[in-house]
Chain A
């Protein structure tokens, strides 16, 4: 793991330095939108990193990860609509509710395997989606506009784009560091071990179900945080945040960037969203380019972008 990090170190440094210096560029150019775009990328990278923990390391293909994004977002949105503007209330609630939901979903679905696991996680996410669509008081299908961002009693001002961006970036780096610590701990060994051979891990005496459930809950909670950030960023929540295609986007980011690699989800989020933004400026028919590109990446670049970088360095 450490070795793998070293090989990619220069790339990681460039990307992280680029992200850190971005506000300098936007201040110089006056193009605020680049900062808006990258805030979004960083937040989705946090969500993808949390998914990577269970998908990349634990082999649990959750096709309902966007549900946590939505739950975290709606926690902020609903509290704001009810007049609770303090982030000290909103964010812990967002984390707690998404963690709790992950606990229920995990307990019910981790008994199934393979495609059945994919579909049952999808089922739960779709149920939350339709619950949100039925919330007449909070806009139903049309979503809910958030009129002021979370307040942190003067500690940090989220309405300032630069401050908010740096907060998101710090949380992204923290989540990557956290994943790194976790994977290299005994806990992480069990999670990775149970991906390759669950029965053996059980035979050694690890209650793998509990370990896997714990990882599932951690990932869900962390994604709930990304949801709270996203709600503050877009100042708008809607059921569309957790539609199945959004869960699919997160999976694509992880696989595209490199499953089971620390910085893979970040690479995936950047390249996918920048490609989308860039290609859509070049041609209205940008998906006709992106589609086959995805297929080619799958066919010829196993391990995603992270794998490509690794091979570049070796070759």
Chain B
């Protein structure tokens, strides 16, 4: 019996064989592909695939192989999948990551195994500060940066009293803290709701109305943003208290939000109408391939592919040169669809932030457009607590 199973084990070992020979660039893509927020994951995957098409599916002469894994929006699952692509697929780069809590859980296995991990969305404050790592890069933003821009815009509008609402998880806390860092007026209320399973905000909306603020700021990404906006409209608050947002209205949620999103401003580092050539090509080809416009999530994933490519090209496909790869990525030497940006010492972008608003297109669909530039070359506040210097 034992002999038989030993033989079987040996046979299996030969059949699957070690895949260590460096014939391709392997990229793990850990993102949400199931549940209601799969829309975001799909948008990122589509953009990443488009980027690979544009690169001829090769980087530095090597073919590219991508392993997509679903984190189910759960930190523990995301961590498992990250371990899987590292240990089983032996990837050279990992990217994806919508959710801050998933990224926080997944950081350790990547850094421990010295695998480059590039967040194409999540940017928790701890990774910008004390947990910053030579193996971590971001093609998005640090969580606080976008609400910083919103706080400044609220100042410009002369809003005196503000009410804050957000979900109770890493990013929610970062976002509300971000607004408070730049907004000088009075914050008269601050509520956190259960994440991700609280979908009815009636109690919170009643409280916000009773507090009589001049404006409300919310952060509700994905499906929660759809629910929040429609309940806000049903409660008749649209005509009473203006709403300001971060990451609540984008191309993945607009088809469901439709006209309740009209007149609700948001801040973003990328908008589909930014006039640089790389962006025009990205948006036009995305529209041609998938039939609708990309979201900022997709733009960040598209950038992640190009950032990886720039480093692989620089080392001419020799993926063992990790120091050289890192040095190249630090230059951000590629055509980002948001326009050129620089990296701070913590590997988070120093970049512009724009004010965007919802517009109704001639064909009845809804889209976003740039209204103004709120911040130029903005850097997050946590880079000072990151011990890494270069």
Q: Tell whether A and B belong to one assembly.
A: yes
Contacts of B88 in A (CB 8 A): 31-34
| Residue B334, interface by CB 8 Å | no
B168 touches A21 (CB 8 A): no
Bound-complex Cα distance A42 to B174 (A): 38
Considering the complex, which residues of chain A in the window 140-199 have a beta carbon less than 8 Å from any beta carbon of chain B? 140-143, 145, 147
Bound-complex Cα distance A10 to B79 (A): 36
Considering the complex, which residues of chain B in the window 75-114 have a beta carbon less than 8 Å from any beta carbon of chain A? 75-76, 79-80, 83-84, 87-88, 90, 100-101, 104-105, 107-109
| Residue A3, interface by CB 8 Å | no
One of B6-14, B57-65, B250-258, B365-373 at the interface: B6-14
Contacts of B364 in A (CB 8 A): none
Q: Is the interface of B mostly helix, strand, loop or mixed?
A: helix
Contacts of B83 in A (CB 8 A): 33, 36
Contacts of B18 in A (CB 8 A): 29-31
A234 touches B87 (CB 8 A): no
Considering the complex, which residues of chain A in the window 227-260 have a beta carbon less than 8 Å from any beta carbon of chain B? 234-236, 238, 240-241
Contacts of B10 in A (CB 8 A): 28
B5 touches A14 (CB 8 A): yes
B33 touches A142 (CB 8 A): no
B82 CB, nearest partner CB in chain A, Å: 11
| Residue B2, interface by CB 8 Å | yes
| Residue B170, interface by CB 8 Å | yes
A141 touches B101 (CB 8 A): yes
B20 touches A30 (CB 8 A): yes
Contacts of B74 in A (CB 8 A): 240
Bound-complex Cα distance A142 to B108 (A): 15
| Among candidates A17, A33, A145, residue contacting B105 with C-beta atoms closer than 8 Å | A145
B105 touches A29 (CB 8 A): no
Bound-complex Cα distance A62 to B83 (A): 32
| Residue A88, interface by CB 8 Å | no
| Residue B169, interface by CB 8 Å | yes
Bound-complex Cα distance A29 to B87 (A): 11
| Among candidates B1, B6, B79, B90, residue contacting A236 with C-beta atoms closer than 8 Å | B79
Which among A29, A234, A238 has the highest number of chain B CB atoms within 10 Å? A29
A24 touches B9 (CB 8 A): yes
B5 touches A284 (CB 8 A): no
Bound-complex Cα distance A280 to B33 (A): 12
* Further contacts, 7 of them, CB under 8 A, given A17-B5, A36-B80: A24-B9, A25-B9, A29-B12, A33-B87, A33-B88, A142-B104, A238-B76
A contact residues vs B (CB 8 Å cutoff)? 10, 13-14, 17-18, 21, 24-25, 28-34, 36, 40, 140-143, 145, 147, 234-236, 238, 240-241, 280, 284
B contact residues vs A (CB 8 Å cutoff)? 1-2, 5-6, 9-10, 12-13, 16-20, 33-34, 70, 74-76, 79-80, 83-84, 87-88, 90, 100-101, 104-105, 107-109, 168-170, 195
* 8 sample A-B contacts, Cβ–Cβ < 8 Å, listed by A number: A10-B1, A28-B13, A31-B18, A33-B87, A145-B105, A145-B108, A240-B76, A284-B70
